[in-house]
Amino acid sequence: MEINDLTEKIIGLAIEVHRHLGPGILESAYKECLFYEIKKNGIHVECEKALPLIYKEIKLEQGYRIDLLIENKLVIELKTVEAFTDVHFAQILTYMKLGNYSTGLLINFNTKMLKQGIKRFRI
């Protein structure tokens, strides 16, 4: 599946989850529900994907964890916050850079309409 089609599909599934749960739930609940929807739709997804951090000659196996990694090419980082901050942007960009992924979606489920809480990143 092309990356644009994939991001569109994932956004649609996230909207479906938000439509059923609404705002105000724990991030972990949204993650599990979105994970379920993605798997149900036959899309390969990894939850809490470990992303090692390499520093000089040492490798930290559990450096970071990507919330959801879709088809080994799309990073999904989920939040339940009032508003995105630069720290959230830096976090997803770091995951993308360390994993050599070109596309990411930062999704904030704590919004009245989910499309207001989605930011796409390309590097």
State the pLDDT at residue 53: 85
Whether the Cβ atoms of residue 101 and residue 7 lie closer than 8 Å to each other: no
Tens of pLDDT along the chain (123 residues)?
Answer: 899 999 999 999 999 999 999 999 999 999 999 999 999 999 999 999 999 888 898 888 777 999 999 999 999 999 999 999 999 999 999 999 999 999 999 999 999 999 999 999 999
Rounded CA separation 112/110 (Å): 7
Rounded CA separation 21/30 (Å): 8
Integer angstrom CA distances of residue 66 from 48, 70, 117: 5, 10, 18
State the pLDDT at residue 54: 84
Rounded CA separation 56/47 (Å): 28
Rounded CA separation 43/63 (Å): 26
State the pLDDT at residue 43: 98
State the pLDDT at residue 16: 98
State the pLDDT at residue 91: 97
